[in-house]
Amino acid sequence: MVARIRGWATRHLSYAGRLTLVSSVLATIHSYWATIFLIPNGILNRINAICRNFLWSGKAEYHKALAISWDTCCTPQDEGGLGLKEVKNWNKSLLGKYAWWIATKKDHIWVKWVHSVYLKGTPWTDYTPPADSSWSWRKISHVMSIFTPAYTDGKWLNSHAPYNICSGYNWLRQPQVKVPWRFLCWNSLNIPKTSFIFWALMHKRLLTKDRLLRMGLVVDTHCDICRSFPEDHQHLFSGCVYFKECSRLLQHQLKVRVPVSDMISWYSKAHISKLIKRVVGACYVSMIYQIWKVRNEARLKMFVRQPEALVQQVICDIKNRIQRLNKTKFKGRDRNWLCAL
């Protein structure tokens, strides 16, 4: 994993780019071994640390405080996380299939060997491995003891469906309450890097000046865009005159009356064309990203883009995104609306 990271040119990758590499490459390298035996906790902790450090810094080592806890990152997207797998529970759920095979006496030569050599007629749920048994077998037995409460009369979770890895993982981690902004944040028309910034905003973990002040990194807390009020999440993405002007121009451009101050509720309840709603949501999330970019430009380069230029950039980005992703024909009304943007 460390060798892969050193070989990647991660200097210019966005958080969304690193997230893709973590979920598709780094977090899968150990998967083969995780299906064979229970990996020691020290190694799993190191795997977690490498993935976590690469996501936030682009390196295998990172010695600063994290913007958002790794436990939050490892929850599903609809529960407020990034959809990454927690490697310890994932390892146990992968081994859970062996426990299921043994419990149901699957017609498999290895299962028959286990019953004849180890169990010898003892019910699987009452079995305790002997001290001289192999380390791998003791760990499989340990995983079985963990999953025993989920087995009732040989059935998994009181259903006729067989055990599967995803259901075992979800049972171990205990699902949480779903967040109301999940559909807006992970809209398929969103540009990935804008979704990541919006996700961080929903957790109030962007490095606005009120947070930098608590860290002792700044003295002046006034908004770098309007220079009128202290900068925090509430001001920058709701109360700032720059945000209000961008919102007004975006609504005018989209020709849709959208209560920007209550976008999350509107997105889940609006009864309009599905495509129009997704495009409006993607434009709003992209506007959040662009305003955060403008704030950084104002702080580092002493330059603030005009709201008109920002809105045109948002519309252009989303239209390009639609053209790249959508291969189906639009309905006449939706097509006319898109062409008028």
- The span from the CA of 183 to the CA of 280, in Å, is 12
CA angle 331, 333, 337 (to 5 degrees): 115
| Beta bridge mates, 156 | 151, 159
Helices 15-24 and 41-57 pack at an angle, to 10 degrees, of: 150
Q: Phi, psi at residue 211, to the nearest 5°?
A: -75, -40
For the chain, 341 residues long, give each residue's pLDDT as a single digit of tens. Answer: 888 888 886 667 889 999 999 999 998 899 899 998 899 999 999 999 999 999 998 888 887 777 899 999 999 999 999 999 999 999 999 999 888 888 888 888 988 988 898 888 888 778 888 888 888 888 888 898 898 888 877 788 888 888 899 999 999 988 889 999 999 999 999 999 999 999 999 999 999 999 999 988 888 899 999 988 999 999 999 889 999 999 999 999 988 887 777 888 888 888 888 888 999 999 999 999 999 999 999 999 989 999 999 999 999 999 999 888 876 667 778 888 888 88
- The span from the CA of 107 to the CA of 288, in Å, is 56
User: Cβ neighbours of residue 75 under 8 Å, at least 6 residues apart?
Assistant: 81, 82, 83, 173, 176
Judge contact between 200 and 82, C-beta under 8 A. no
Specify the pLDDT at position 153: 77
Residue 190 shares a structural domain with residue 329 = yes
Domain that holds residue 283: 182-339
Instruction: Outline where DSSP puts E strands in the chain.
Output: 151-152, 155-156
- Out of 115, 145, 173, a domain closes at 173
CA angle 213, 217, 218 (to 5 degrees): 60
Residue 74 shares a structural domain with residue 108 = no
Judge contact between 91 and 39, C-beta under 8 A. yes
- Out of 51, 85, 119, a domain closes at 85
Q: Phi, psi at residue 230, to the nearest 5°?
A: -60, 145
Name the domain count of the chain: 3
Dig out the tokens for 59 from the structure: 């390196």
Residue 16 shares a structural domain with residue 80 = yes
Choose among 192, 211, 218, 138: nearest CA to 13: 192
Task: State the pairing for strand pair 155-156/151-152.
Answer: antiparallel
- Out of 173, 207, 241, a domain closes at 173
The predicted model scores a pTM of 0.89
Specify the pLDDT at position 99: 85
Judge contact between 273 and 333, C-beta under 8 A. yes
Overall residue count recorded for the chain in this entry: 341
Q: Count other C-beta atoms under 10 Å from residue 6's C-beta.
A: 10
Specify the pLDDT at position 309: 95
Specify the pLDDT at position 11: 67
- The span from the CA of 270 to the CA of 284, in Å, is 15
Residue 110 shares a structural domain with residue 232 = no
Residue 251 shares a structural domain with residue 167 = no
Determine the 3-state secondary structure of 5 from DSSP.
helix
Residue 226 shares a structural domain with residue 299 = yes
291-298: list long-range contacts, CB under 8 Å, 24+ apart: 291/236, 291/237, 291/242, 291/243, 291/246, 292/197, 292/201, 292/206, 292/236, 294/225, 294/242, 295/223, 295/224, 295/225, 295/231, 295/236, 298/224, 298/225
Dig out the tokens for 137 from the structure: 């077998």
CA angle 52, 165, 185 (to 5 degrees): 50
Residue 56 shares a structural domain with residue 148 = no
Residue 94 shares a structural domain with residue 57 = no
Residue 80 shares a structural domain with residue 95 = no
Residue 103 shares a structural domain with residue 217 = no
Residue 201 shares a structural domain with residue 256 = yes
